[in-house]
Amino acid sequence: EDQVTQSPEALRLQEGESSSLNCSYTVSGLRGLFWYRQDPGKGPEFLFTLYSAGEEKEKERLKATLTKKESFLHITAPKPEDSATYLCAVLLRGGSQGNLIFGKGTKLSVKP
């Protein structure tokens, strides 16, 4: 069964304390892996797409990396405004374009 698991479920950081969020996946074939940010009461906001092992993408304090089994979202020197739930999703090779399989997310809290 195709599965996406995110850890930890929740993470509390002090402002400036760098850390990483993990997304591990067990799928029949990966077409792409996606990271989204979701604020309370809002829809997910797209962050990154990764297509192949070894690929890395950066945006401000965020950096996403991909291996054959997992992806990491590294947060460098986080600020309180980075507090949100971060969702990971996979698109299967051979599957439909629309069928993103999401993990449950990691809820990040950054305290000043």
Partner 1 sequence: GAGVSQTPSNKVTEKGKYVELRCDPISGHTALYWYRQSLGQGPEFLIYFQGTGAADDSGLPNDRFFAVRPEGSVSTLKIQRTERGDSAVYLCASSLSGTSGSYNEQFFGPGTRLTVL
Binding site for partner 1 (CB under 8 A): 4, 31-32, 34, 36, 41-46, 49, 87, 89, 91, 96-105
Question: What whole-number distance in Å separates Cα of residue 96 and Cα of residue 75?
Answer: 31
Shortest Å, Cβ 52 to partner 1:
13
CB 20 within 8 A of CB 33: no
Shortest Å, Cβ 48 to partner 1:
9
With respect to partner 1, which residue has the nearer C-beta, 76 or 107?
107
CB 70 within 8 A of CB 10: no
Shortest Å, Cβ 21 to partner 1:
14
With respect to partner 1, which residue has the nearer C-beta, 65 or 85?
85
Shortest Å, Cβ 15 to partner 1:
26
With respect to partner 1, which residue has the nearer C-beta, 48 or 110?
48
CB 67 within 8 A of CB 20: no
Structure tokens at 68: 């054959």
User: What φ, ψ does residue 81 adopt, rounded to 5°?
Assistant: -70, -10
With respect to partner 1, which residue has the nearer C-beta, 37 or 82?
37
Q: Specify which residues 111 forms β-bridges with.
A: 14
